[in-house]
Amino acid sequence: MDLLEQYKQQYPEKFREQKPAPMTDEYGREYSTLVALVMRLSGGRIRDSKQASYALLGAAAIIAVISGILFLRLFSSGTGPNAGRITPPVTGSSNGIPR
């Protein structure tokens, strides 16, 4: 019997698959991985899950406003004073002198 098999027999609990512990705050409430990521990436400025939730809500609101502005600019680009004016195609010689 090799050393690894002997260690597995003596300490079987170390070789069992363990689920990662859920992320909890100081009161034992669980929160999502995204909230934990925001808290970790903030560099200590966001200290609890409530602040992280507000930061995520604010980021979602900013993204919604920016996307709304972009969509409005996309669909309202043809509403200027010359929007209904149709210009005829240029025909004739290529020297640029009108006939």
Condensed to tens digits (0 to 9), the pLDDT of residues 10-66 reads 888 877 777 777 777 777 778 888 998 998 899 889 988 889 999 999 999 999 999
**Residue 51: predicted pLDDT:** 92
Report whether pLDDT(94) > 90: no
Q: Is the dihedral of CA 72, 74, 76, 80 positive or negative?
A: positive
Note the pLDDT tens digit of each residue in 71-80: 988 877 665 6
Higher pLDDT, 15 or 96: 15
Q: Is 15 exposed, middle or buried (0-12, 13-18, 19+ CB in 10 A)?
A: exposed
User: With bands split at pLDDT 50, 70 and 90, how would you rate the model's confidence at 90?
Assistant: low
